[in-house]
Structure 1
C-alpha cells in the first residue's frame, strides 16, 4: 500500500513537471505566432492597398499607358477619334462664348460702366472671332489627330498623365504613412510584400501543428494528474474528529500546481482572434480588370495580460477601473484561492485556522469570476463572429459591378481552452476536497 501510494505521488509530480515544461514551450510558440500574424496583417492591411492613393496612381497609370500604347490610328479609328476631338473642341468653344456673353455690360449700370463694358466687348470681338473658330474646328481636330502619329508623342502623353495623377494625389494630401509596413519588411529582411508574406506564412504553418500537439498534451497531462490523484481512494490514516480526510501533500501539490498551470497559460496566451478581410475585390476600369486581394480590414489577437496592460497604459479613469476589476477577478482571486486551498488542506504551518486562508479556500468561490469570464469570452466570440460575418456579407452584396469575396477569420484560440480547463479543474478540485472535508465532519 505504501509503495503504491508513493508511486502515485511520484507519477503525479512527474506529470506535473512534464505539463509545465510543455506549457512553457506552448506559451512561447503562441506568442510567436501572435507576433507573426500581427505582422502579416500589417503588411496586408487595406491602408496599403485599396485605401492607398499611390497604389491607385500605379494601377490607373498602368491602364492609361496601356490604352495609349494600344492607340493605333487606322482609318476607322482615326475617324472616331477625329469625331470625338471635334465634339470636344465644339463644346469648349461654346463654353468660351457663354462666359464672354456673361461679361456684357448691364443695361441698368451707370454710363461709365456701360462705356467700359462696350469697349471691353468690342476688344473681345476684335481679338476673338468665335464664329471663325467654330468654322475651323474640323481643321483643328484633324491637326490634333495627325500629331498622335508623330514619334514620341505617345511617350509624352504617358509622362503627362503620370504627372497629372501624381499631382492630384499630392494636392489631396491622401498619401499613406508606409513606415510601419517598411519596418516589418526590414525586420524580416524582405524586399517586397509578397516575399515577406510567404516567409511569415511558412513559419506560422510550421508552428501550428506543434501548438496543437502541445495544447493537447498539456490538457491531457493535467487530466492524468487529476485522475491519478483523485481516483483510487484517499488514505485516511488515523483521522480524529474535526480533522479533514487529507490527500498526501505531494498529490495535493500536484493538483493545485496543475490547476495553476492552466490559469497561467489561459492568462498569458491569446483567447480570441478577430480577423476580417476582403479576400478579393475585382471590377473593370476602362475595360481592364482591377483586382485587390487579401485586404485586411481588422485584426486583433490578445491575451488577458495584453488587455490589462493596454487598459493600464491608457491612463483614463474608466479604463483603469476596468483594468483593476479584470486583474482582481481574473488573476488575484483565482491565484489566492489556489494558494489558500493548498495551505488549508495541507495545514501548512497551522494555516488552517487563519481566517483569510479559510475565506479564500472555502468561501471565495462566489467572488471568483473565472466561470463568468469563460462564458463572456465565448459570447464575445459568437458576437464578433456574427457581427463581422454580417457586415462582410453586406459588403459583398453591395454592388453588381464590383465582385467582393470576404473572409471572416474570427476564432477561439488555445488560451480560451486553457482558461476553460482551469475553470473545470478548479471546480473538480474544490468539489473533491470539500466533499472529503464534509464527509469527515
Structure 2
C-alpha cells in the first residue's frame, strides 16, 4: 500500500508535467510565431521606408534643379498660355506707347531741324517745314498708339507672341538641368518595377496605406508576444505550491525568455525620421509646393548597431561593438543556458563553479538593463535635438510656408527587449527561490 502511493503520485506528477509541457509548448509556439511576424513585418517596413526615403529624398526634390525647373516652367507656361490683356493693362500700355511715340517724333524733328550742310539735307529740312506740322503729328500719336495696341491684341499677334515666349522657355528648360536627373530616373524605374506603380505619387499613396497596416500589425505582434509571457508568469502564481512542476515550468520559462531575447535584439528598436512635410510659396500668383521631403531616415536593431560599430575603421568603435556583443547578447544567452543546465542537472554538475557563477552571480555583468536605459536616453536626446533643429525650419508668412515633421520613435523591438530584461530579472528571482541552497554565499 505504501509503495503504491508514491507510484500513484509519480504518475500524477508525470502526467501533470506532460500536460504542462504541451500547454506551454503551444503558448511558446504562439510567442515564437508572433515574434516571427514582428521580425518579418519590421524587415518589410524598414525596406519600404528606405525606398520611400530614397524616392522622396530632399536631393531629388527641394535640392533638385530639375524639380525647380519643372515646377517654375509649368507656372510660366500656364501664365503665357492663359495670358489675356485686361482693359487696365491696355490703357497703361497705350500710355507707354504714346510716350515712346511722342519722344520718337520729337527726336525726329529735332534731328531734321539741325543745321544741314548737304544739299539733300537742306531740301529735306525745307520740305518738312513746308508740308509737315509737328503739332499735328503729335496730335495723331494717341490714335497711332491705339492702333498698335489693337494690332498686338489681335488673335494672330497674341498667338505669335505666345509661340515666341513658349519656344524661348522650352529652350531655357533644355539648357537647365543638374546631375540628379539620371539618378532620379533610375530610382523611378526601380520603384515602378518593384511596386508596380506608374509614378512617385502613386507609390507614395500605396506605401502610406501599407505602412499604416504594417505598423498596426507590428505593435499587435509585440503585444501578443508579451501577453504570452505574462500568461507563462501567471502560471508561476497558480503553481507556486506544486514543487514537482517547478523544474518543467522553469525550463519552459527560459525558452520564453530566449525568444524574447532573439526578437528583441534583431528587430528594430529605434527609428529616426526627419522630413519637411510641406513647403509652399507663391510665384506669379500661383503656389509651388514640395511635400514629404525626407531629410534623414535610419532604423536600427541592437544587432544592427553592433554590426555598424564593429565595421568602423576606428579601434574604439570596434571595441565598443565587441563589448556590446559580449555583454548584451552573448552573456544573456550564457546565463539563460546556465540556469537551464543548473535546474536540470544532477548535484555534481550543479556544484560546478562556472555554472553556478553564470546562473546566479553574473547578472552584474549583464548589460541588457543598461542597454535599455541607454537606448531610452539616446531617444530622448536625439528626439529633442531633431525637434529643435526642425523648429528652425518652420517658416510661416505670406510668401513662404514650411511645415516640418519628426517621426522619430521607439520601435516594437525595444519594448520586446524591455520585456526580456524584466522577465529575465523575474526568472533570476524565481531560480533563487526554488533552489535556495544552491546560490553562492
Change (3 A) 1:150 1:199: closer
Which of 151, 158, 165 is the aligned partner of 2:166? Answer: 158
1:289 aligns with 2:301: no
Which position in structure 1 is the counterpart of 2:399?
A: 401
Distance 1:410 1:423 in 2: 23
The 3 A distance-change label for structure 1 pair 83 and 321 is farther
2:349 aligned partner: 351
Distance change (3 Å), C-alpha of 1:289 and 1:81: farther
Match of 2:316 in 1: 318
Q: Does 2:252 align with 1:254?
A: yes
RMSD between aligned alpha carbons? Answer: 3.2
Cα distance 1:417–1:60, how it changes in 2: closer, same or farther (>3 A)?
same
Q: Which runs of 5+ in 1 are unaligned?
A: 89-138, 238-245
Specify the alignment match of 2:364 in structure 1: 366
Residue 50 of structure 1 corresponds to 62
Deviation at 1:185, TM superposition (A): 2.7
2:231 aligned with 1:219, yes or no?
A: no
Gaps of 5+ in 2: 1-11, 101-143
Q: State the secondary structure of the residue aligned to 2:393.
A: helix
Deviation at 1:83, TM superposition (A): 7.8
Name the residue aligned to 1:62: 74
8 Å contact 2:269–2:301 — kept in the other structure? yes
Deviation track 1:72-112 (CA, whole Å, cap 9, x = no partner) reads 34664256457889999xxxxxxxxxxxxxxxxxxxxxxxx
User: What's the offset of the Cα at 1:359?
Assistant: 2.4
Q: Per the alignment, in what secondary structure is the counterpart of residue 63 of structure 2?
A: coil
Which one is further off, 77-86 or 310-319?
A: 77-86
1:94 maps to none
> 1:410 corresponds to which residue?
408
Structure 1 position 342, deviation (Å): 0.9
Counterparts of 1:300 and 1:291 in 2: how far apart (Å)?
25
Per the TM alignment, residue 181 of structure 1 is displaced from its structure 2 partner at its CA by 4.4
CA–CA distance in 1 between the matches of 2:190 and 2:202? 15
CA shift at 1:314, angstroms? 3.9
Shift of residue 53, structure 1, vs aligned partner:
1.0
CA distance 1:143–1:165, change in 2 (3 Å) = farther
Match of 1:327 among 325, 328, 338: 325
1:232 aligns with 2:244: no
Q: How far did residue 17 of structure 1 move?
A: 2.4
Among candidates 381, 384, 392, match of residue 382 of structure 2: 384
SS of residue in 2 equivalent to 1:438: coil
> Contact between 2:395 and 2:403, CA under 8 Å: does it hold in 1?
no
Q: Which moved more, 1:28-37 or 1:334-343?
A: 28-37
1:400 deviates by 5.7
Change (3 A) 1:211 1:175: closer
| 1:338 counterpart (336, 339, 344) | 336
TM-score, normalization by structure 2: 0.76
CA distance in 2, matches of 1:82, 1:300: 61
CA distance in 2, matches of 1:351, 1:197: 60
Give the structure 1 partner of residue 198 of structure 2.
191
**Is the 8 Å Cα contact of residues 264 and 416 (structure 2) preserved in structure 1?**
yes
| 1:47 and 1:176 in contact (8 A); partners too | no
Say whether the 8 Å CA contact 1:53–1:175 is kept in structure 2.
Answer: no
| Residue 22 of structure 1: how far off its partner (Å) | 2.4
1:167 Cα deviation after fit? 2.2
Q: Corresponding residue for 1:39? A: 51
Identify the match of residue 7 of structure 1 among 7, 16, 19: 19
CA drift at 1:230 = 5.5
Distance in 2 (alpha carbons) for counterparts of 1:150 and 1:10: 87
Shift in CA distance, 61/419, structure 1 to aligned 2, threshold 3 Å: same
Deviation for aligned residue 1:163: 2.3
Residue correspondences, number:
380
Residue in structure 1 matching 2:427, options 426, 429, 435: 429
> Given that residues 271 and 302 in structure 1 are in contact (C-alpha distance below 8 angstroms), is that contact kept between their aligned partners in structure 2?
yes
Deviations 1:367-416 (A, max 9, x none): 11100111111112222222222222221147663111222212121101
Distance 2:66 2:97 in 1: 30
Quick one: which of 205, 210, 214 aligns to 2:212? 205
1:275 aligns with 2:273: yes
Matches of 1:156 and 1:383 in 2, distance apart?
A: 57
Per mean C-alpha deviation after superposition, the further-off stretch among 183-192 and 5-14 is 5-14
Alpha carbons of structure 1 residues 418 and 85: separation in structure 2 relative to 1, 3 Å: farther
Partner Cα distance (1:219, 1:264) in 2: 14
1:440 deviates by 7.2
Higher mean C-alpha deviation, range 326-335 or range 175-184: 175-184
Deviating more after overlay: 425-434 vs 378-387: 378-387
C-alpha distance in 2 between matches for 1:224 and 1:279: 43
- Out of 174, 177, 180, the position equivalent to 2:183 is 177
User: 289-298 or 430-439, which moves further after superposition?
Assistant: 430-439
